[in-house]
Structure 1
Amino acid sequence: MIQGICFDLDGVLIHTDELHYLAWKGLADRLGVPFSREQGDRCRGVSRMQSLEIVLEHAGRAYSQEEKERFAQEKNEAYRAMLEALSPADVPEDVPPTLEELRRRGCRLALASGSKNAGLILARTGLGTYLDAAADGNHITRSKPDPEIFLTAAQMLGLPPERCAAVDDAVAGIQAGRAAGMVTVAIGDSAAHRAGDYDLERFGQLLDLFPGPGKEEGL
């Protein structure tokens, strides 16, 4: 019986991938480094410094650790400036009613995002009001596919990992959820790769999977 659901943020509860891409692209353009959409897609679900390595892979020169940390900070400042403009209107329309219904059915809900900007996003969009706990990049030392973020979220919910489901749009996130011992639910890119125990086309299909305590789980 699944009692808790742990959600990734970007690409699941809200879509800010384009903002990430624009912020990285702005840095790459300033440095004169080629940066493609394909590279941007590869930055999904990995840490900021891992993403920076992807951005710089065609740089044609090496950068010091100090320079890299400065570049990562520059990108994050640009990204956070874009996040300030977010509002509840930016949340996909099926997300709030689905979260409300899952809670009504007795499921405990948590964020499990590696983003250190998750708190700002939750505040700007109002998504935090639907969650019982929020684990983000400020609570962990290891990024997905390491299971730390999902294990932390389960602990915050007061549930064993095997009683939780991990919902993620990145293959690395699904790998992390599986390593944590959770049922994995893929959506978006990870679903296209058939990475999860369940692969969904729409967020609202979670209601078919998790009918609530005392009922048989669907699909």
Structure 2
Amino acid sequence: MTTIIAQATDDGVHRGAGSGWTVRAVLFDLDGTLVDSTAAIERHTVRWAERVGVAAGPVLALSHGRKDAEFIPLVAPWADAATELDWLHRLSVEDTEGVTALPGARELLTALAAHHWAVVTSAAREVALSRLRAARLPVPTHLVCAEDVQRGKPDPEGFLRGADLVGTPPGECLVVEDSVAGVRAGQDAGMAVLAVGEAAKATPGGLHLSGVRVRRLPDGRLRLAR
């Protein structure tokens, strides 16, 4: 389920699933938003937790929506972070079994012009590209990854960078996110936020991503609606 979590400005961005959204650009999270990589990520995270000798459950909870470089020191401060990051990175790039496009993702992306959207992800660039290709989704012209920011989600830096890349003020962007950390990052960036997946479970009603359609208005803005 999806729903509007936050609204940025009065420039035509409407609250509520029924009214839709009028924006100039859309900034998508990747994992859990455009691609279903849950099985792969959990498989990799559990293997890494076993490698460093920690319980998998807390690691899975802390890792959702965060950069690997940020959650690794939180759960294994005694380990060499660079070595562990490289190990997890290689596994994530090479093992894409089960990674697929989520319903509606391909249709929505192909309906948008390249300059109207970007992907802002906590994954490393090589990992993000491998998952996009595994899911057979368009590779975005504008891609903000872990190595492009100093502070990962819930910090708004990534979404603000994404807005800059597409040449759109933050208040005219719609963020599509599935993690609590990502929702907070979009809110703090001053953007409208459309929560999907895990982030939307606590809020009843709304749309499925597969129900969202987009058209370009005469003034160049995008109208997204059921």
Q: TM-score range by the shorter chain?
A: 0.7 to 0.9
CA contact (8 A) 2:39 2:98 kept: no
SS of 1:5 mapped into structure 2: strand
CA distance in 2: counterparts of 1:108 and 1:114, whole angstroms: 20
Give unmatched runs, 5+ long, in structure 1. Answer: 57-61
CA distance in 2: counterparts of 1:53 and 1:138, whole angstroms: 17
CA distance in 2: counterparts of 1:55 and 1:24, whole angstroms: 12
Query: Match of 2:87?
Result: 74
Matched-pair identity in %: 22
Amino acid at match of 1:120: S
C-alpha root-mean-square deviation of aligned residues, in Å? 2.8
Size of the aligned set, in residue pairs, is: 200
Shift of 1:145: 0.9
Shift of 1:11: 0.3
CA contact (8 A) 2:121 2:146 kept: yes
Amino acid at match of 2:62: R
CA contact (8 A) 2:212 2:225 kept: no
Q: Does 1:140 align with 2:160?
A: no
CA distance in 2: counterparts of 1:200 and 1:41, whole angstroms: 25
Q: 1:10 aligns with which of 31, 38, 41?
A: 31
SS of 2:70 mapped into structure 1: helix
Amino acid at match of 2:119: L
Query: Match of 2:12?
Result: none
Task: Using CA pairs under 8 Å that are at least 6 residues apart, name the structure with larger relative contact order, 1 or 2.
Answer: 2
Shift of 1:27: 2.0
Shift of 1:33: 2.5
Query: Match of 1:112?
Result: 120
Amino acid at match of 1:203: L
* TM-score normalised per structure 1: 0.78
* TM-score normalised per structure 2: 0.76
CA distance in 2: counterparts of 1:199 and 1:113, whole angstroms: 26
CA distance in 1: counterparts of 2:211 and 2:61, whole angstroms: 24
Where does 1:26-65 land on structure 2 (aligned, <5 Å)?
A: 26-36=47-57, 39-53=59-73, 55-56=75-76, 63-64=78-79
Give unmatched runs, 5+ long, in structure 2. Answer: 1-21
CA contact (8 A) 2:103 2:210 kept: no
SS of 1:127 mapped into structure 2: coil
Q: Does 1:96 align with 2:116?
A: no
Shift of 1:99: 2.2
Query: Match of 2:176?
Result: 167
Shift of 1:112: 1.0
Amino acid at match of 2:210: G
**Aligned pair in 2 of structure 1 residues 199, 13: CA closer, same or farther (>3 Å)?**
farther
SS of 2:95 mapped into structure 1: helix
Q: 1:206 aligns with which of 206, 212, 223?
A: 212
Which protein has the bigger strand share? 2
